[in-house]
Amino acid sequence: MSEWVRRVSAAVAVGALGVSLAACGEPDDNAPHPGDPTPKLMLLRLATTDAISSLDPAGPYDVGSRTVQANLFQTLLTILPDKPTPVPDAADCQFDSPTTYTCSLKEHLTFPNGHELTSSDVKFSFDRLVRLKTPGGAAALFSSVKSVSTPDELTAVFNLTSPDARLPYLLTTTASSIVDEEAYPANKLLDTKAIGSGPYQLAAYKPGTEVTLTKFPGYRGPRAAQNDGVTISLMKDSNALYQAVTTGKADLAFHGFGPSLLDKLRKSDRVQVVEAGSAEIRLFTFQMKSLLARKPAVRQAVAQLIDRPAIAKKAYGDHVSPLYSVVPPGYGGQADAFKTEYKQPSRTAAAAILKEANIAVPVPLTVGWTPSQYGVGAKAEVLELKRQLEASGLFRVTLRGAEWPQYQELTKAGAYDLYQAGWTPSYPDADDYLTPFVYGYRSAAASKLLQQERTEQNGLKRDDLIEQLQGVIAREAPVIPTWQGRVAVVAGKDLENLKTALDPLSFLYLSGLRR
């Protein structure tokens, strides 16, 4: 008899014994009685302007797809609200050595089709992700994984090419979702079907229109659904989104509201607006091909002058939060390094920095920006930056705008001294905020600390290294962070647990929602 048959037989035997005992003992007051009304299902309706490119976790790594995948599939580890470090979902994992990471699966995990979830499915899922290398996908995140071995049905071992402290965080992403190897092709995507072991199962999918999820009773993890299902309707624009949630056609709405509509919704007595810090950040980046940008004093003087609260208020109506580090609050090791280094905006301090370096003022500075990629506040932001720098008398700013494709070419070519940039990480760890900016300029101190934090497996020591690295970036100022975005969800007054649904990476976990 196979292990699967033994497990099912045991479950049936225990169930039968329970029925026999109940029949011989006292009546069960919680059991339904003849004539009782059938409990009404708690079915929710979500409206969003997000697009869904694929249901397959090995597919493109876009926000709309991740909202669906995060609710259909299970990962080995997950990050729960207000807990910045990974916790078990399908497995408990630990480093056995700097290059060996072992995950012990929970027993009796299954997919909705009845197939067991074993370590073989874990290995298949990761091998498939790396093999497919889907454009826009996340296979590159797992470059340190040399192989996945399966010593038994409940153990998956990640063998690494080099120590990688990021791995536990990578294993919380939808890219690391576990799929059923008996249902998924090894060499191509399965875009319109989904079989995962998450809190929900796929009931229906109309590409470009609607996704229907129903509760999966067999899910075993910390995100069990508190509702019976969710229908996700894809809206064409913000007006359709607004109409859906204010007329009651949707229980909640997500992604697509501009600042003016959010302000209007906050004043409504029909809905509630809940916000949380998002993973999206904005910053100004110095282009090191520019001779001017290579001068540390110029970079430091700009950092000394920037007034972040003024930018947040004047350009974005305070719908964003001032940011004083390349790592936003909520991540391990985060420190407001720019506030520590530069205190308050100060013309006197900036002038002293330039004078000590023998740099004549006003310094001519060319600032690049793009109207299409960074939203309606982008122009107002660079205008406020120009005003602040020129008001000091220390800089003379020339603004140059370009549409996104040309803007990307111009930034790489060195057409600007300083340019507007944005960043949203691919995984929920401080490293993904640090790596792009450390690799963007030459700094022996920053490069050393980056390598150390990536390989340090002691959490407290790693947090200290991350904090030190932020301090180096603030002192050398190759980039100047300005603000962190917010993610907002609008819902009917009777919907609960909205805060727990918001993921900083800008997608939604739906299982905690209830009326």
Query: Which domains are present in the chain?
Result: 79-176 (3.90.76.10), 278-486 (3.10.105.10)
123, pLDDT greater than 80? yes
Mean pLDDT computed over every residue of the chain: 91
10, pLDDT greater than 60? no
What's the pLDDT tens digit per position in 479-509? 999 999 998 999 999 999 999 999 888 889 9
18, pLDDT greater than 90? no
- Minimal CA–CA distance to 367: which of 388, 346, 350? 388
> pLDDT at position 504, please?
84
What's the pLDDT tens digit per position in 358-409? 999 999 999 999 987 887 789 999 999 999 999 999 999 999 999 988 999 9
Q: Which residues contact 65 (CB under 8 A, 6 or more apart)?
A: 52, 53, 54, 55, 59, 174
Structure-model confidence comparison of residues 404 and 354, the more confident one: 354
pLDDT, mean of residues 35-60: 89
Helix H, strand E, coil C: the string for 327-379 is CCCCCCCCCCHHHHHHCCCCHHHHHHHHHHCCCCCCEEEEEEECCCCCCCCHH
Most trustworthy range by pLDDT among 4-13, 15-24, 400-409:
400-409
pLDDT, mean of residues 237-256: 94
441, pLDDT greater than 80? yes
Q: What percent of the chain has pLDDT over 70?
A: 93
| 293 contacts 497 by C-beta, under 8 angstroms | no
Query: Strand 271-286 relative to strand 87-88: parallel, antiparallel, unpaired?
Result: unpaired
13, pLDDT greater than 70? no
What's the pLDDT tens digit per position in 185-206? 999 999 889 999 999 999 999 9
Most trustworthy range by pLDDT among 12-21, 77-86, 129-138, 212-221:
212-221
> pLDDT at position 11, please?
36
19, pLDDT greater than 90? no
> pLDDT at position 15, please?
36
> pLDDT at position 20, please?
33
**Range name among 71-85, 166-180, 285-299 with the lowest pLDDT average:** 71-85
pLDDT, mean of residues 87-94: 98
- Minimal CA–CA distance to 467: which of 430, 424, 426, 428? 430
- Residue type for 105, please? L
Distance CA 13, CA 58 (A): 39
> pLDDT at position 36, please?
61
- Check residue 39 and report its DSSP letter: P
